[in-house]
Amino acid sequence: MKKRILFLLVVLMYSCGTGSKAPSTSKISTYKKEVNSIHPQFAVFHVNDSLSELHYKIASKELLYTRPDAINFSSNVLISYRLVKSYDSKDILDSSSVRLVDENNANADKYLVGKINIKALYTKSYYLKITVTDLNRNTSASSVIVVEKDNELNRQNFIIKSKEDDIPLFRNYLKMGEEVSIQYKQKKESSVFVRYYNRDFPLAAPPFSLTEPKPFQYKSDSTFVLKMSKEGHFDFTLNKKGFYHFQLDTTKRDGLTVYNFTDAFPEVKNADGMLLPLRYITSRDEFTAIANSVNRKAAVEKFWLDCTGNMDRAKEVIRKFYTRVNDANSHFSSYIEGWKTDRGLIYLIYGSPGTIYRTANTETWIYGEVNSINSLQYTFVRVNNPFTENDFSLERSAIYRQSWYMAVDVWRQGRAYLQD
pLDDT digits (tens, 9 = 90+) for 309-352: 999 999 999 999 999 999 999 999 988 999 999 999 999 999 99
Same domain, 46 and 133: yes
235-270 pLDDT per residue, tens = 999 999 999 999 999 999 999 999 999 999 999 989
Residue that is last in its domain, among 131, 150, 169: 150
% pLDDT > 90, the chain: 78
Same domain, 238 and 302: no
Same domain, 136 and 97: yes
Same domain, 78 and 179: no
Handedness of CA 277, 31, 395, 406 (dihedral sign): negative
Same domain, 404 and 288: yes
The answer to whether residue 396 is domain-embedded is: yes
Q: Is residue 22 scored above 50 in pLDDT?
A: no
Same domain, 104 and 132: yes
The answer to whether residue 419 is domain-embedded is: no
Range of the structural domain that residue 243 is part of: 159-260
Which pLDDT band holds residue 367 (cuts at 50, 70, 90)?
A: very high
Q: How far apart are CA 69 and CA 66, in angstroms?
A: 9
* CA neighbor of 350 nearest in space, from 19, 32, 24, 13: 32
Same domain, 239 and 363: no
The pLDDT of residue 419 is: 54
The pLDDT of residue 10 is: 40
374-414 pLDDT per residue, tens = 899 999 999 988 899 999 999 999 999 999 999 999 999 99
Residue that is last in its domain, among 227, 260, 293: 260
In the chain, the amino acid numbered 40 is P
Q: How far apart are CA 194 and CA 235, in angstroms?
A: 12
Same domain, 370 and 303: yes
Residue that is last in its domain, among 203, 227, 260: 260
Domain count, the chain: 3
